[in-house]
Amino acid sequence: MTCVKVNELLSVAGQPDAAAFAAFAADGFAAVINARPDGEEPGQPGNTAEKASAAAAGLSYSFVPVKGAEITEADIFAFQATMAQAKGPVVAHCKSGTRALTLHALGEVLDGRMKPGDVEAFGQNLGFDLAGARRFLEKRAGQAPHVTAFFEPRTCSVQYVVSAPKTKRCAIIDPVLDFDEMSGATGTANADAILAHIESEGLTVEWILDTHPHADHFSAAHYLHEKTGAPTAIGAHVTDVQTLWKEIYNWPALKTDGSQWDQLFADGDTFEIGGLKARVMFSPGHTLASITYLIGDAAFVHDTMFTPDSGTARTDFPGGSAAALWQSIQAILSLPEETRLFSGHDYQPGGRHPRWESTVAAQKRANPHIAGIDEAAFVALRQARDRTLPKPKPKLMLHALQVNIRGGRLPDPEENGRRYLKIPLDAL
């Protein structure tokens, strides 16, 4: 195993065996980053074994698995977060050390400490070929829109700011309003973090977009509308979801005409974000009203497909349909192969870092719910998986729908000034 010192805080290595972990600890390392996906070759120890070896040696451990050509910003930020939290020097490994060094070098460039043109020479000095890092940076420089993701760990949701680099105009997609079901406390820390980013980047908000009425968290669309004045939008079939839940909540006063949003989008509708073209694709299956926003080369596919290692979204909510989800996924996969796909959740399989970005090509190649599967097989697989998921549904479903079918408005205060949620018993 090669182990090369990059600086006082970081060394990169090839694949270590179990004994190497004790040696790392003896050499003064405090943490190990495993940047290698499981199953690359026979005999590879893998995440579970490495985690155990690290624990036995008293080392912190994090799993940031990447494939060379598929590195995303999420991977780079996860690598940096581990470095920032480490209590001492870190050894980061993949098979040869190249991917580990790539993650480090890209972070240095994104933070402005290294020039893009210096990356390959930096690698050569340490004995590594960082041509892949150069290609990542070249591709990124040509991409529009810019996409910044905000992972919300409580509900594993991904919120996005999508901006047109030339005009500095942006849309916010699927923002989360904080809610703690134990105390009933609501909050705006996540939405305020988005506003702080928008302010620091000098962006102007043109749209506040939801992909669907979420069942696991409150939407911050209304709060952000009040803060920015930007119009809110969702899929036109939200009216069907309103009708469905009006009955469940026994809520005669609920308007089911979608008037709680400034704009309702139908399949094929187009709009602009600071000169970037945006198109709406109706993507039902997870909910009756789900839509995908295709903005430039980026599709916000929310709860259709997750990253390839995480399969697809569940279809057992009221109004859900595995067959409809299959059709929606096929429509997304008919986009150009290099289209960037941004998912609405990440449930971190194997305890890996959160990831949310993939491509049409990667989904077709590596998503076990998609690759080599036809509609009948998908429906059978999806329905079988839905039967194994915790019931009843996401734990916040009954809390969240009454807020989200009114565009993220909390219930109106009662005469004592306090707001209350209404929970139907035995309804589902």
Ligand X SMILES: N[C@@H](CCC(=O)N[C@@H](CS)C(=O)NCC(=O)O)C(=O)O
Binding site for Fe ion (CB under 5 A): 303
Is 345 a binding residue for ligand X by CB under 6 A? The answer is: yes
CB of 178 to Fe ion, least distance (A): 17
Nearer to Fe ion, 170 or 325 (CB): 325
The candidate with the shortest Cα–Cα distance to 111, out of 144, 155, 142, 81, is 81
Binds ligand X (CB under 6 A): choice among 99, 314, 352, 369: 314
Report the nearest approach of ligand X to the CB of residue 119 (Å): 37
Radius of gyration of the chain (CA): 23
Q: Between vectors from CA 265 to CA 240 and to CA 328, what angle results, nearest 5°?
A: 75
How far is 383 from 377, CA to CA, in rounded Å? 10
Give the CA count within 13 Å in the CB-facing half-sphere of 201: 22
Q: How far is it, in rounded angstroms, from Cα 191 to Cα 176? A: 6
Beta strands of 181-309 (E only): which ranges?
A: 185-187, 204-209, 218-219, 232-235, 263-265, 270-273, 276-282, 291-295, 298-302
Which residue, 73 or 174, is less far from ligand X as judged by CB?
174
In this complex, which beta carbon is closest to ligand X, that of residue 388 or of residue 416?
A: 388
Comparing CB distances to ligand X, the nearer of 213 and 274 is 213
420 binds, among ligand X, Fe ion, none (CB under 5 to 8 A by kind): none
Q: Is there binding between residue 70 and ligand X (CB under 6 A)? A: no
Q: Does 14 bind ligand X (CB under 6 A)?
A: no
Quick one: CA dihedral 375, 339, 162, 262, positive or negative? negative
Options 394, 410, 421, 424; binder of ligand X; rule CB under 6 A: 394
Cβ(263)–Cβ(231) under 8 Å?
yes
Mind giving me the DSSP string for 44-90? ---HHHHHHHHHHHT-EEEE----GGG--HHHHHHHHHHHHH-SS-E
Stretch that binds ligand X, among 96-104, 190-198, 360-368, 391-399 (CB under 6 A): 391-399
Task: Write out the binding residues for ligand X, residues 213-272 only, by CB under 6 A.
Answer: 215-216
Max CA pair span of the chain: 71
**Integer Cα distance of 345 and 368 in angstroms:** 17
Q: Which residue's structure tokens are 């340490």?
A: 126
Is position 309 an interface residue for ligand X (rule: CB under 6 A)?
Answer: no
- Among residues 303 and 309, whose Cβ is nearest to Fe ion? 303
Closest CB to Fe ion: residue number: 303
Q: Which does 314 bind (CB under 5 to 8 A by kind): ligand X, Fe ion, none?
A: ligand X
152 binds ligand X (CB under 6 A): no
Site string for ligand X, 106-145 (x = CB under 6 A): ----------------------------------------
Q: Which residues bind ligand X (CB under 6 A)?
A: 155, 215-216, 303, 313-314, 345, 347, 389-390, 394-396
